[in-house]
Structure 1
């Protein structure tokens, strides 16, 4: 999280560089101005001895009061600007504007102050009282800062149900007024946790004395590991705060959350208060600022004798209010996808709504990652790419009913293609070869299709599109088509790389007649994207040619009713789809790309059986039908 504010030490230096010349310019002649100048510059720069000498108070007490004000406010810096000096008889008063940087990603506290001056033995002195520090500060009082962090809000599914489950966070707190030795407590806590002891101490010294101050928050495992050492620290008390941070399925898309640690502090761009949580991955990391919002901060006065709070001087909650992240994920569809892969298959399923491109489910077994593989993985498309090639074939006036044999081997442009056993019942036509995913037959059409037309078709189906998602994703790529061999390999999907997400969108385009870019989050519209992503132009839907869509529906229905995708059959609306065999890294892979109703899917599983993906898809569609 980047706040845009300078670090604590840098902030003080900048304040001095900007303000001192302005202050000095106001005091050209010996006058009350010199006393005002020396006092404000001394206070601002931490030269409290000089500031104290310009008052009529006890120098040691004034110096300590200025030091204490900085500690009580846990201030990174003070900046002052003189507004004017008024003289009424022998009484002189200077007006100034104060700007206090409260640090720890807190806001600037701005207020107007007054410096009463009078002559003491011929020298102008600031008439000292606590009201010099702030007009409402009285004798017997001190400053304090109250912090109320806004709780982390959930990531929710399309029905706005949380995609997190409750998990216990353990909070270590202290009540400042009850501590015998705050310094010792912070030294011990820093040794156990790794948090800087000076930051822990500053939180205690700036807090309201009678109220518990959270210092460190632990997840269950870390607390269990450190519990014995923590309980040995006198004055530390513990509480359990249930918070919805454990991700529900799809866990790697939703992302994990942890309590802030010394290591994760840097990820958020500066010191964080106990109770803050940080998204480590997934949407929790992408939307860290949106989910956590800001912290309510109050500056108060406290009675030094009773330690009761007296008056609130300022209160604000700056910046963005936290908001849930509303996703397109559908719990029912996700459960159906998870259950379909629970039967022993190793692989992935991505399900989208064909008419919108909304991602409804992303599921993967432990061998694969839901984001890195299902959304952003790069896999050979195999003959599922024939879906895309159909448009180019139609433009070339290829007759789908023409005879087209499916031999075990065929050479095109010097490249050998092999069909691993012609499917039983295959028909020697283009339609039959499409339905049965015949590599050798489809590759033989390379000379009939214009490479430029094939590239245009790929673009129409989103292959290589520049969409942006809040998570990593891959839209696909195709090698240059320099000759017949390259074109044949493209039709066979051997030099075309895709992700399960990109192929689910291809199926959605065939189902709805329009290709839609993917959508994973409905609100907010975008996370904090990189500069490159922010400059990317929005990707628009692409309406497909009606003839192409009608032909694809016919071909992909035939593949389910009488071709290699027969195991995808399920009750309800007709299932359309195709299968393909591929391999990556020596692992045999089986694709199914298709749809039922408005739910389009891409299934990719490890198997030597090219129909294995269709089998998993059929189980997925049956799960949806059964209300799983």
Structure 2
């Protein structure tokens, strides 16, 4: 740089300083200060906005978070609704029992974790200390059972249904029993003992797996609540259970409770009104028990049975009985393994099973209402005459009439009244031939099977009870599938035989081996014998007593098949809500009006002059006319099983009644008397007394139901919470 330029720059700087003009370095400093000030202002504004957001819009959220470490929320179960009969009488209700409970945190704060206290309680209650110690253990992933699956802030039950005098010993010595209390707790009560046990169901605690797997349960269950496990308790659990409440407790860091922060009361469950009539249910069960006892006194091996009473106009279940049965109170307080195993054992008759809707049996001649309808659909003449010999040769073998008797030429009416098997054998054989026999057509009509399905057989009825069986209506397709599923086992048996059977019955073992050999070779063929047996409700045909009752109810009401229902409606605990369930139509019988009327007339004569005449001798059929059909089912290796399916009054049907007793003998001797006793109870016919000339005159009393008919309205809840009968029946 030249000396002249250097002097010029120095003079310029001096002039700017004198004029107050900043230099480049000063300008940079000022700009930095300004940026710092702006940054501070922005950060302050952001902090202010964040504080406002947290303290105003999010105040509630952070308030809850703050409380979370100092509160515990508990689920408060609602009072479970009752199960009532059609008159409002309780079938299942609630009662309170005195329960000794423990406070988990109070025990935990003891020097020995409450062991000494529990030992003193065990001594007073006369129970093992180990049992009480297990009850207060909290359940966890690695905790074995038993343990406490509920909240540690809930009272833990140590012993239920305690004598007040025992509880008083604890309450009067509170200093010796810190954390121990006695309080009333609600439990399910069965005022009628074992009546309708399988239908009503039972309660069991919700499992830890269910509680953890289903989010919706955690909002309604505390982890120790009970849920329906069978019957009506299971199907209508959500309505009976009600809506749980919540209680938020203020707790200390040591787990002590300081008080209630917030509480939402629970809403009681709805009362379930059933179509069951308590008196008719008792009558039905007593008649069934008497029938089993009579059969056993005659040397029959029967030890079980089922009976069903339906309202033919709606499909509602009036009564449903199954033997053997059990007392549902065994589930209260937890069931021990020995009792549970007994309920499932064959030796005890598997009393948990309802034979009315789960038992599957060959229906015998009660099935002929379907076979006759199928024959008419296939072209048989309702007005024709048919040969009823003692035996008939079909499909390379002879088929016998029941007890070998013949009736000559008969109408279809008489074929039903006297239950002529040989007429129906011929129907089954003819339809088999028309479909191609063992070389079936591409699209066989299968008229017998198709008609049976139209009567509701071979499929669940849709009743509002769990675990219903479907029965079985076999046909060519079923036979093929069954053969594929069982061929390997049959071939193995055909080779090895049945040595376990041969030890007691060599003849039966030889028969089973021949049958296994035949099935192994070509068991998929629908043979003449299959079709012949089908026509009289034998062979592979299986139905449930409920299915048969529904079919006869449809015959009685003009052809409508209903879905059977046990529930009639719901009542709120305070009576402000009433919900009535309407009957559900499931279909119509696949027969025309003329065939239906023909069947009705024939069935009316069975108790008067047919196979049920002896059972109904002396019954006042001029007052209450019975229509029905006997059935005697035979199975290889078992004695005859008895059926009677019916409805009444025949001229204005109201009830369908079916009884079934396995291995009890013939339908007319073993099952029909059971049904008679049920009708006698329903209509108030208490028996017969000798009259002039030795005639038996029935004694007529009060019918089990007012007017011998189900009530048209539901019961009602009074202002005090008690339940009154329906208005049309009076208090």
TM over 0.5: yes
What are the superposed Cα offsets for residues 513-557 of structure 1, whole Å, 9 maximum, x if unpaired? 1222222334479xxxxxxxxxxxx97321552112101111101
Is it true that 1:560 corresponds to 2:618 in the alignment? no
Residue of structure 1 equivalent to 2:305: 347
8 Å CA contact retained: 1:565, 1:579: yes
Is it true that 1:357 corresponds to 2:315 in the alignment? yes
Residue of structure 2 equivalent to 1:238: 182
What secondary structure, in the 3-state scheme, does the structure 2 residue paired with 1:375 have?
Answer: coil
Distance 2:149 2:312 in 1: 55
What secondary structure, in the 3-state scheme, does the structure 2 residue paired with 1:184 have?
Answer: coil
Q: 1:598 to 1:227 in 2, by over 3 A?
A: farther
Residue of structure 2 equivalent to 1:156: 84
Any residues of structure 2 matched to 1:226-625 within 5 Å, and which?
235-241=179-185, 243-246=187-190, 248=192, 249-257=195-203, 260=205, 264-266=207-209, 273=222, 276-301=225-250, 312-313=261-262, 315=264, 322-345=269-292, 346-366=304-324, 367=349, 369=351, 371-400=353-382, 402-421=384-403, 428-449=410-431, 452-469=446-463, 470-480=465-475, 482=526, 484-494=528-538, 495-513=540-558, 514-523=560-569, 540-542=586-588, 544-566=591-613, 567-568=615-616, 570-571=619-620, 572-584=623-635, 586-596=638-648, 597-605=653-661, 606-611=663-668, 612-625=670-683
**Runs (5+) with no aligned partner, structure 1:** 1-29, 35-83, 99-109, 115-130, 207-212, 526-537
Residue of structure 2 equivalent to 1:215: 156
Distance 1:479 1:227 in 2: 66
Distance 2:408 2:273 in 1: 47
Q: 1:288 to 1:312 in 2, by over 3 A?
A: same
Distance 2:470 2:270 in 1: 29
Give the drift of 1:295. Answer: 2.3
TM-score by length of 2: 0.57
8 Å CA contact retained: 1:245, 1:256: no
Q: Which of 552-561 and 482-491 deviates more?
A: 482-491
8 Å CA contact retained: 2:365, 2:631: yes
Give the drift of 1:96. Answer: 9.2
What secondary structure, in the 3-state scheme, does the structure 1 residue paired with 2:393 have?
Answer: strand
Distance 2:55 2:263 in 1: 19
Distance 2:160 2:207 in 1: 13
Give the drift of 1:382. Answer: 0.8
Q: Which of 500-509 and 356-365 deviates more?
A: 356-365
Residue of structure 2 equivalent to 1:184: 113
Distance 1:362 1:202 in 2: 37
Over alpha carbons, which structure has the higher Rg?
Answer: 2
8 Å CA contact retained: 2:103, 2:156: no
Query: Which structure dedicates a bigger proportion of its chain to strand?
Result: 1
Give the drift of 1:235. Answer: 3.1
Give the drift of 1:148. Answer: 2.8
8 Å CA contact retained: 2:74, 2:222: no
8 Å CA contact retained: 1:375, 1:499: yes
Number of corresponding residues: 492
8 Å CA contact retained: 1:245, 1:257: no
8 Å CA contact retained: 2:388, 2:407: no
What are the superposed Cα offsets for residues 139-171 of structure 1, whole Å, 9 maximum, x if unpaired? xx9535455321222222233432125666453
Any residues of structure 2 matched to 1:89-108 within 5 Å, and which?
94-95=54-55
Residue of structure 2 equivalent to 1:127: none
Q: 1:551 to 1:220 in 2, by over 3 A?
A: farther
Q: 1:365 to 1:154 in 2, by over 3 A?
A: same
Distance 1:300 1:235 in 2: 17
Query: Which structure dedicates a bigger proportion of its chain to helix?
Result: 2
Distance 1:402 1:203 in 2: 73
Q: 1:447 to 1:273 in 2, by over 3 A?
A: closer
Distance 1:502 1:197 in 2: 49
Q: 1:334 to 1:502 in 2, by over 3 A?
A: same
8 Å CA contact retained: 1:347, 1:368: no
Residue of structure 1 equivalent to 2:485: none
What are the superposed Cα offsets for residues 7-39 of structure 1, whole Å, 9 maximum, x if unpaired? xxxxxxxxxxxxxxxxxxxxxxx99xx9xxxxx
- RMSD, matched Cα: 4.7
What secondary structure, in the 3-state scheme, does the structure 1 residue paired with 2:595 have?
Answer: helix
Distance 1:85 1:551 in 2: 92
Distance 2:210 2:105 in 1: 33
Give the drift of 1:309. Answer: 6.1
What are the superposed Cα offsets for residues 534-589 of structure 1, whole Å, 9 maximum, x if unpaired? xxxx9732155211210111110111111002224643331000001113561421
8 Å CA contact retained: 1:426, 1:436: no
Q: Which has the higher contact order (CA 8 A, sep 6+)?
A: 2
Q: Which of 427-436 and 604-613 deviates more?
A: 427-436
Q: 1:326 to 1:265 in 2, by over 3 A?
A: farther
Distance 2:115 2:86 in 1: 45
What are the superposed Cα offsets for residues 293-330 of structure 1, whole Å, 9 maximum, x if unpaired? 3421132547999x99677356476xx97333333322
